[in-house]
Amino acid sequence: MNQTNNRFPEMFMWGGATAANQLEGAYLEGGKGLNLADVLPGGSSRIKLLNKPGFNFEIDQLKYVYPNHDGIDFYHRYKEDIALLSEMGFKVFRLSIAWSRIFPNGDELEPNEEGLAFYERVFDELLKYDIEPIVTIAHYETPLHLIKEYGGWRNRKLVYFFERYATVLFNRYKDKVKYWLTFNEINSATHMPLLGLGFSPDSEETRLQDSFQGLHHQFVASAKAVKLGHEIIPNAQIGCMLLYATTYSYDSNPENVMHALEEARIFNNFCGDVQVRGKYPSFIKRYFKENNISIEMEDGDLELIKEGTVDFISLSYYMSRTEKKSKTLEEAGEGNLIGGVKNPFLKSSDWGWEIDPIGLRIALNELYDRYQVPLFVVENGLGAYDKVEDDGTINDDYRIDYLREHIKAMGEAIKDGVDLIGYTSWGCIDLVSASTGQMSKRYGFIYVDKNDDGSGTLERSKKKSFNWYKDVIESNGNVI
């Protein structure tokens, strides 16, 4: 193996990341209620459903497959899976808590003890192996009752339901969990309001108004959680979580450069400015005015947001984004979830996501220059088709190549002066894809024998990348 000059900090936190709704299964066991993910079908059309005004949650269950219902059965097999993570040398493991396991409807006064006890067992198992849990409080798992009865995060009442939920978590797990994230990829809400905010827009005309109102409620809820977390767990580190897409202008045409800047401000910077700086940025005023957006706030909201700023920024990074003010259908980067045009300098994954490791280095520099708080890459990885050979091996060199280049980019960012504290590769064990509802879109170092139609043995096996990542962790990123 080749030695590199990427010097990671001695206490750098290496690990992997998952979400409850994509791996747990047992969707109605242990007193759990239905959440948003439970009613989203499998298949690549789910993203189109997410963005369709008036999306009907009452889907005919005989017509669709629901892979989230079973996931990879982590609910029953967590000990086996955590042992494999330990074998790789994980220092940290990012997971989410399914809100509807703790409050089945979301608006109860008392939590579900079976749900609380399940996560306690998971945390104890992680700590047995000296793996630090990193917990996402809300990861696209809004209880379905809160969506149907209250209209999701458009409704101010969800702030209080979330506050109750977070308080229960902090009190129950205060001796087991130090690192917390409030809302997963909070800035994705305007692109995918159903996933992020728990509602589908009534019309395209109301999408932005409703989305930014829902975001304001999440800002308030996050600030409340940060303050509560610090009171209940004095040594807690509580972060925000952004879906970051380094944004390029298509060319040096000033109109395109300005357009790229405007897109980057709204998508990459707006939520970070509120959650880290503690105030709405000046550029948003013009955007709100030009898009007829008016945010309803209660007295004290802005003071609370200022008092409840996060300790660090966590981010997902999968792709960059190239922007052109006027584009044709042929120019559109269809595979990229967040729009833009095709970048002629980049290759794409099997699902059309453009691969840009240097963009990660740029992202980390942009974020650290802007905020000067610690950064944590909590999602990054390659969704790809994996083939099991006749001898049972899975030679995922394409995944190794992808991760190697992104880890190198992180090393360069650290040498640039960025305070980067950790890295958790997304989907460290194969799970259900959030964007497509497929098992065939695999990210993991651990292969799970399950197919898109739900068939399979659920047997776990190691891919080639398993031992490669183990070496990366053992060498602290210096041997890749």
Is 17:428 a contact under the CB 8 Å cutoff? yes
Set 185, 263, 323, 354: catalytic member: 185
Q: What is the dihedral of CA 422, 428, 432, 433, to 10 degrees?
A: 50
CB within 8 A of 274, min separation 6: which ones? Answer: 219, 280, 281, 305
Strand partners, 93: 16, 133
Chain centre to alpha carbon of residue 287: 26
Q: How far apart, in Å, do the first and last CA atoms of the chain sit?
A: 7
Contact 237, 179 (CB under 8 A): yes
Query: Which residues, at least 6 apart from 427, have a Cβ–Cβ distance to it below 8 Å?
Result: 16, 17, 18, 22, 381, 383, 442, 443, 444
| 80 has catalytic annotation | no
Q: What is the DSSP string of 367-402?
A: HHHHH-S-EEEEE----B-----TTS----HHHHHH
Which of 102, 83, 1 is CA-nearest to residue 480? 1
Pick the catalytic residue: 132, 141, 379, 412? 379
Structural element, H or E, at residue 20: helix 20-23
Question: Rounded to an integer, what distance in angstroms lies between the CA atom of residue 116 and that of residue 122?
Answer: 10
CA 225 to chain centroid: 18
**Strands (DSSP E) found in 258-308:** none
Rounded CA gap, 41 and 374, in Å?
A: 37
- Say how far apart CA 34 and CA 105 lie, in whole Å: 8
Written as six digits, the tokens of 55 are 């999306």
Give CA–CA dist 420/377, Å, rounded: 8
| Residue bearing tokens 């305007």 | 190
Radius of gyration of the chain (CA): 21
**Residue 430 · residue 448 · CB < 8 Å:** yes
Which tokens hold the place of 347? Answer: 């290759």
Known catalytic residues are 185, 379
